[in-house]
Amino acid sequence: MKGQLITLEGIDGCGKTTVATWLAQRLTNSRQYDECFPESLLKRSFVFTTEPTNGDAGRLLRTKMQRCEDASSKVSEETSPEMEQLEELFLFMADHADHLAKTVKPALKKGYVVISDRYSDSRVAYQGATLRDVIPKSMDWIHDLHSPWSTTPDLTLFYSIDPTSAMGRCRFRWKNATSGSTNGPEKFERVEFLREVDENFRILTKKEPKRFVIIDANLDLEEVEEETLNVITKFLSDKKYSRKPIR
């Protein structure tokens, strides 16, 4: 059986990470106890993954994205913000290469269904925004940088939410975090910036309407979760979606 790659995308606070955690539980651990488990999915094995990863570049990125107020994190006088944005893009791409080599391609080769919480569209949408004034047509440029070597998803779920509500959810997360990395706003958690990223994601959905399915993430969590499972079940049951063997 051929592997398939499904990606989950959206702005910070859209809820996709909560949905991905639920989905992992639903499609793996609890399937044997569930009489209503979709039959078409019973034969499939799933791999759940995320970008940034927990590899070297991914860990470095997560540290960098914590918005630290201490003096050591201030932009040094010798570096320009433009170069920092480029450095960030290439770190995300290094992490993506590592993700493809170690997780995505081997799993697809084995015929697994890979579900990734964020993937290359995050780069096009987020770094397309940070590099908007540095690189002409930044979104197209980032897309083209990936094309020769990356694997395009078979299906992408875009969690659509009003950026102001998304920011509200991020604030709730900061207030309720007790420890770990989610104890304060991350670099991109600002409403004006998320609005731009949201606009970029919408451009992508219009460019590739066959690949993208838009999920209304303003709904209650349970509805969003059920809708996610419905879309994935339908997709995996539809033979015409079977991907070609990967290189």
Instruction: Map tokens 């034969």 to a residue.
Output: 43
Cβ at position 65, least distance to ligand TYD in Å: 6
Cβ-in-10-Å burial (0-12, 13-18, 19+) of 7 comes to buried
Cβ at position 241, least distance to ligand TYD in Å: 24
Between 45 and 50, CB nearer to ligand TYD: 50
Between 161 and 236, CB nearer to ligand TYD: 161
Instruction: Map tokens 């998803």 to a residue.
Output: 153
Between 14 and 47, CB nearer to ligand TYD: 14
Helix residue ranges, H only, the chain:
16-27, 39-42, 56-65, 81-99, 105-109, 120-122, 128-130, 138-146, 163-176, 191-207, 221-237
What six digits make up the tokens of 162? 């009003």
Between 3 and 10, CB nearer to ligand TYD: 10
Cβ at position 112, least distance to ligand TYD in Å: 21
Cβ at position 1, least distance to ligand TYD in Å: 28
Rounded Cα distance between 237 and 134, Å, is 43
Between 40 and 183, CB nearer to ligand TYD: 183
State the residue number with the nearest CB to ligand TYD: 126
Cβ at position 42, least distance to ligand TYD in Å: 29
Helices 81-99/138-146 angle, 10° precision = 30
Residues that bind ligand TYD (CB under 6 A): 12, 17, 51-52, 65, 92, 118, 122-123, 126-127, 186, 188
What six digits make up the tokens of 130? 């940070």
The torsion angles phi and psi of 209, rounded to 5 degrees, stand at -65, -20
Cβ at position 78, least distance to ligand TYD in Å: 24
Between 52 and 153, CB nearer to ligand TYD: 52
Cβ at position 212, least distance to ligand TYD in Å: 17
Q: How crowded is residue 118: how many other Cβ atoms within 10 Å of its Cβ?
A: 23
Nearest to 132 by CA among 164, 92, 89, 163: 89
* Terminal alpha carbon distance of the chain: 16
Between 90 and 109, CB nearer to ligand TYD: 90
